[in-house]
Structure 1
Amino acid sequence: METLIDYVLANGKITFDDKPLTLLDFALFNELGYLQLIEHLPNEWKKQDEICIHDLAPLFHESKQAIQFTFLNTKERIVLFEAFLRAKRYCHVTISHYVNDVNTEFERQFAAVVFSIPESKTHQIVFRGTDDSLIGWKEDFKLTYMREIPAQRAAVVYLRTILPILSGEVIVSGHSKGGNLAVYAAANMSEDMQNRLSLIYMLDAPGFRKVFLESSGYRRVSGKIVSIKPHESVVGVMLTSDRSPLIVASKDRGMAQHLLLNWGIDKETDSFLGLEQLSPMSQKLEKTFAIWNQRLSHYELKNLFDLLFDLLIEEGVSSLDDLSGKHPLELRKHLEVYRQLTPQQRRLFVKAFNLFILAYRSSKLPKVKADKELLRLPEFFNRQK
């Protein structure tokens, strides 16, 4: 199955004059938004208001051997970036207005960048999805119980600041949490500013609470939203969405389908390889998440996710990379903190675990006592030290 990398390789010599921007070009720019390009540049480069990405090629090739693959800078994204740098099609594309903010005090993870294509006078504002920081992942789960998470607030400020500066066509996009931020920010603009936006790409992104979908700001931009999800979407079926998505094939399975570089493409149509509907597993998960959120109060959800993440953060774990590189014994040591839960805290974990399993099994919940232990959590979480 061919992917976005194959699209870049096949179209590298075709200019935008010969082939206008396609959906796959927008997906490409969105994926490049995950790379931490600016952080590793010399200081004199960082001071520039706008950088032509192809000018980075010499620096990239000099440091290629020293590149360390991380949660964001994956091997596949580096391969994509290398193909991008070799492609004549993208030789004039620039980046600007880069922001990367991980704030532990305010529990906010936010990053955004503008890609500009001068040949077509088009700008794509890309909101990055979740990085590897535990703060970022904790913030994601706040979507289940907060009206507005800190990253959403930052996205509104960013779009309100950047949009008046740009002339020409403007597209907003994001993958995962970034797609949620793109829609949220667009919905909170004035009507005049919303009219500046051509399209909003929501790539396997979590949805929203129903009160947001009923807002006038959202209704004004909903017709511009293009929602795309892989066949076995997990993240994209969290919370609620009223947009009919384009379902795409993937060369991988399960959670690995969340990665955009695993999605299949159709070279004939310059689009993703479409399917008729989500997989049975994904459809069932969509119902499961809905039931789970209905049966757990906002207070319980907050306490659950505070417990889940804060205990690890207090242990000095700040990122998924901190955990992924650990020896199993070291990893087990970090997870020991969960044995220190109080009986009340363990009951909350048991309740949440049971509700999720029951909801997935039946897509509806029988009447059970909230604290009844129908299924046992793994013994590791229940036993005392």
Structure 2
Amino acid sequence: MANIMDYIDWRGDLPFRYSPFNVVDNLILSQISYVNLHNIVPKINSCFDISLSDACTRYFYIHDMKKVMKDLSICKPCMLLKKVAQSRRYKNIRLSNYIDIVDEDHEEQFSAVLMKLSDGTYYVSFRGTDDTLIGWKEDFNMSYMDCIPAQVEAANYINLVCEDLNRKIRVGGHSKGGNLAIYSAIHCDDSIRDKIIAVYNNDGPGFTRDVIESSQYKSIEDKIFTIVPEQSVFGMLFDRREQYKVVKSSESGIMQHDAMTWQVFGADFEYIDDVAKLTKVVDDSIKSWIESLNNEEKAKFVEALYKVIKGTGIRKVSKLTSSKIKSAGIILKSYNSLDDETKEMVINVLNSLRIQYQRNFFSSFFRKKQARFNL
């Protein structure tokens, strides 16, 4: 089974003028934004840029390869950077206007970089949720906030860096980065929106019903390309109007969110007809659960979960997953430190999710049985 690394082996020698930009290129560029390019790519408002090849050289001059490989949260994007930097197709891409914000006080995690391709077009790459705890907290805030700080930042960013560009623009991102790409295209100035030819959402969450029914959303709906894996969780959250394609993955469950597992065929992905039936059950359950809670209940629940995780002293999500048994004990200890009222609220909310899942699971099961009976 082939992935984006194999794609670079196959087509990395083909410049964009011979083989036009495609959806696989989009996924590759969306992954580069996960690399920490601080002090490597010129910051926002700078008139300078740097080639992707030179950026890679600087990165591995600053960062020890062995340490990078041991860090599971960054090793894959960094290895991808090294591979594209050696390919004719990508190495001369010009990187500029790098921004990276992690602000615990404002509960914001945001990063983006502007890329100029050899065909003269631009790709704005928005980073998805990184390894920081505050980044995940901001994601959960989407469940009850009209907009999160990263979304506002995304709209401001594209207005600022694309204002004077006179070429076609593509906008994209993976995970939350895909959501930010759509949000920025919705809320950017009209003059910039007219230059946007494609918006790529790679397994990123949707929006509230109010957003997708807005005139701004409808104005770019035909430009949105949403791709999710068969067992997508993140990409099926909230609502959307645009159609989506389902890509094959070499992994299962939540691990399908990893872009490195998406299967490539030629200059495109390998697709299947729809997401898995169990994925739809989980998706319907989460949506019903979210809709059953008011904003105050959602906010209290999210704050309680964040307090529990933060109380462990852990600040990186990868630390939680690297030793599940040890992490479970630390989390339980932190949970027990909550007051009784908060603990009861957390249990009640989680029980409501369990009930919604059971209801949707059995409803799906009986619909399937009924359909077979009617044949």
TM over 0.5: yes
Residues 74-89 of structure 1: matches in 2 within 5 Å?
74-89=74-89
Name the amino acid aligned to 2:114: V
Q: Is 1:355 aligned with 2:355?
A: no
Residues 45-56 of structure 1: matches in 2 within 5 Å?
49-56=48-55
Q: Is 1:281 aligned with 2:273?
A: no
Structure 1 Cα separation of the partners of residues 191 and 55 of structure 2: 36
Provide the aligned length of Structure 1 versus Structure 2.
361
CA contact (8 A) 1:53 1:85 kept: yes
Structure 2 Cα separation of the partners of residues 235 and 330 of structure 1: 23
Q: Is 1:293 aligned with 2:290?
A: yes
Pick closer, same or farther for the CA change 1:42–1:114 going to 2, 3 Å.
closer
Q: List per-residue Cα deviations over 1:42-77 (Å, max 9, x = no partner).
A: 999xx8721111123544565553442476753332
Instruction: Name the structure 2 match of 1:11.
Output: 11
Structure 2 Cα separation of the partners of residues 186 and 351 of structure 1: 38
Q: Is 1:233 aligned with 2:229?
A: no
Pick closer, same or farther for the CA change 1:27–1:33 going to 2, 3 Å.
same
Q: Is 1:311 aligned with 2:312?
A: no
Q: List per-residue Cα deviations over 1:289-311 (Å, max 9, x = no partner).
A: 11101111111110011011123
Instruction: Name the structure 1 match of 2:97.
Output: 97
Partner of 2:83, secondary structure, is helix
Name the amino acid aligned to 2:357: Y
Instruction: Name the structure 2 match of 1:377.
Output: none
Structure 2 Cα separation of the partners of residues 290 and 331 of structure 1: 27
Q: Provide structure 2 residue ranges, at least 5 long, that are not aligned to the other structure.
A: 364-375
Structure 2 Cα separation of the partners of residues 54 and 276 of structure 1: 38
Structure 1 Cα separation of the partners of residues 220 and 361 of structure 2: 33
Structure 1 Cα separation of the partners of residues 356 and 167 of structure 2: 48
Q: Which moved more, 1:342-351 or 1:252-261?
A: 342-351
Structure 2 Cα separation of the partners of residues 134 and 51 of structure 1: 31
Instruction: Name the structure 2 match of 1:242.
Output: 241
Structure 1 Cα separation of the partners of residues 41 and 92 of structure 2: 21
The two structures have a TM-score, normalised by structure 1, of 0.87
CA contact (8 A) 1:359 1:365 kept: no
Instruction: Name the structure 1 match of 2:144.
Output: 145
Instruction: Name the structure 1 match of 2:166.
Output: 167
Shift of 1:334: 5.0
CA contact (8 A) 2:37 2:59 kept: no
Pick closer, same or farther for the CA change 1:280–1:70 going to 2, 3 Å.
farther
Pick closer, same or farther for the CA change 1:50–1:290 going to 2, 3 Å.
same
Superposed CA RMSD in Å reads 2.5
Instruction: Name the structure 2 match of 1:128.
Output: 127
Q: Percent identity?
A: 26
Pick closer, same or farther for the CA change 1:73–1:304 going to 2, 3 Å.
closer
Q: Which moved more, 1:75-84 or 1:254-263?
A: 75-84
Structure 2 Cα separation of the partners of residues 213 and 156 of structure 1: 16
Q: Provide structure 1 residue ranges, at least 5 long, that are not aligned to the other structure.
A: 367-385
The two structures have a TM-score, normalised by structure 2, of 0.89
Structure 2 Cα separation of the partners of residues 229 and 99 of structure 1: 27
Instruction: Name the structure 2 match of 1:113.
Output: 113
Shift of 1:162: 1.2
Name the amino acid aligned to 1:125: V
CA contact (8 A) 2:129 2:135 kept: yes
Name the amino acid aligned to 1:261: M
Partner of 1:247, secondary structure, is strand
Q: List per-residue Cα deviations over 1:242-261 (Å, max 9, x = no partner).
A: 11101100000001100111
Structure 2 Cα separation of the partners of residues 171 and 16 of structure 1: 14
Partner of 2:85, secondary structure, is helix
